[in-house]
Amino acid sequence: MARALKALPDDAPDFYSALVSNTAARPVVQEAVNDAQLFIPKAVTAAELRAQGFMHERELPQMWHCRGGESDMEKIVKHMSVIPPEFKHSVCIEYERIFAQGGPAARKQANQFLVRQSKRFRGVPHEQ
């Protein structure tokens, strides 16, 4: 994996002095910009990130309605339980995308989406 950050020399100005004085920061910044090791772009797929432990497949959405003792989590858990593991992550992402639009209408649409998805898999055998 390529290094994204370059170690600064001992005489590099601190953040504050770099902001206050252009002359103190200019040589260090210019050296870092000219250095080929500063940033080496590499296309990384989501599968590679998951394999390296940076991303995890979602079992449940990370956003849902919960306010004043009222929560959609029980319904979400019930509907997600019938969705096969290989589809859970994509269903969670779509649920969150719809829910993130905000408001009661988005909450309703997200929950309706989840119900439609769970209906597709009811009665379909899969490992839990």
Q: What is the pLDDT of residues 42-81, one digit of tens each?
A: 666 766 766 766 667 788 888 888 888 888 889 999 999 9
Count of domains observed in the chain: 2
Same domain, 109 and 58: yes
Same domain membership, residue 117 and residue 59: yes
C-beta separation of 61 from 92 below 8 A: yes
> Domain range holding 76?
54-121
pTM of the model: 0.55
Establish if 49 belongs to a structural domain. no
Is the domain of 91 the same as that of 60?
Answer: yes
Same domain for 58 and 112: yes
Are 72 and 25 contained in the same domain?
A: no
Residue 1 forms part of a structural domain: no
pLDDT (tens digit per residue) in 78-107: 999 998 888 888 899 999 999 989 889 999
Same domain assignment for residues 35 and 71: no
Which residues, in sequence order, are CB contacts of 84 under 8 Å at separation 6+?
Answer: 121, 124, 126, 127
32 lies in the same domain as 77: no
Same domain, 62 and 100: yes
Same domain, 34 and 58: no
Which of 91, 86, 89, 84 is closest to 113 using CA atoms?
91
Same domain flag for 60 and 116: yes
